[in-house]
């Protein structure tokens, strides 16, 4: 849904005819769009910066950059490629989850908490892959 820009972000919901106040719930500074929510938002930028550093990849500033990187740099089948793919997808997922938690549940987590969740999910999924390869 991210790649097709069909997530129900506030700007997409407004285009579908809903009357909403368009404000990013993560930073409260800009209108919410896919590009802002995942890449220009200061909250998301802090998450991307830490995760990109941890994965040893460049930090992402646009959806086009993510798609290009995903298609060209992470096409391998090794453990490093899997780690980067999982890290990218987990980062998108947890930013979206934080956004929804704020809207629907009134829960607010600092970016550091989301970064820890992403790194934990990444380590756990890689451990699981390794164990599968070993045959438990």
C-alpha distances in Å from residue 94, one per residue of 75, 117, 130, 135: 23, 8, 23, 30
Q: What is the dihedral of CA 22, 102, 62, 30, to 10 degrees?
A: 30
Q: Residue 64 has what pLDDT?
A: 82
Q: What are phi and psi of 55, to 5 degrees?
A: -85, -10
* Number of other CB atoms surrounding residue 11 within 10 Å: 18
Cα–Cα nearest to 3, from 76, 87, 88: 88
Share of the chain above pLDDT 70, in %: 84
Compute the distance between CA of residue 32 and CA of residue 47 in angstroms, rounded to an integer: 17
Give the pLDDT band of residue 117 (cuts 50, 70, 90): very high
Burial of 107 (0-12, 13-18, 19+ CB in 10 A): exposed
Find the range with the poorest average confidence among 11-20, 26-35, 49-58, 87-96.
Answer: 11-20
Residue 3: strand, helix, or coil:
coil
Sorting pLDDT into bands at 50, 70 and 90, what band is 108?
Answer: very high
Confidence tier at 104 by pLDDT (50, 70, 90):
very high
The pTM for the full model equals 0.83
Please name which of 74, 46, 78, 72 lies closest in space to residue 60, comparing C-alpha atoms.
Answer: 46
Question: What pLDDT band is residue 75 in, cutting at 50, 70 and 90?
Answer: low
The residue extents of the domains of the chain are 38-134
Written as six digits, the tokens of 54 are: 């941890």
Confidence (pLDDT) at 23:
84
């Amino acid at each position: 849904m991210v790649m097709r820009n069909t997530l129900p972000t506030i700007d997409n919901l407004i285009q579908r005819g809903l009357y909403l106040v368009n404000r990013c719930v993560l930073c409260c500074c800009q209108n919410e769009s896919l590009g802002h929510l995942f890449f220009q938002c200061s909250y998301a930028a802090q998450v991307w910066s830490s995760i990109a550093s941890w994965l040893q990849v460049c930090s992402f500033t646009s959806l086009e950059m993510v798609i290009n990187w995903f298609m060209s740099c992470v096409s391998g089948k090794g453990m490093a490629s899997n780690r980067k793919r999982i890290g990218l997808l987990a980062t998108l997922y947890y930013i979206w989850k934080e956004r929804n938690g704020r809207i629907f549940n009134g829960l607010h987590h600092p970016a550091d908490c989301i970064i820890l969740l992403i790194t934990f999910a990444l380590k756990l999924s890689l451990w699981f892959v390794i164990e599968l390869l070993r045959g438990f």
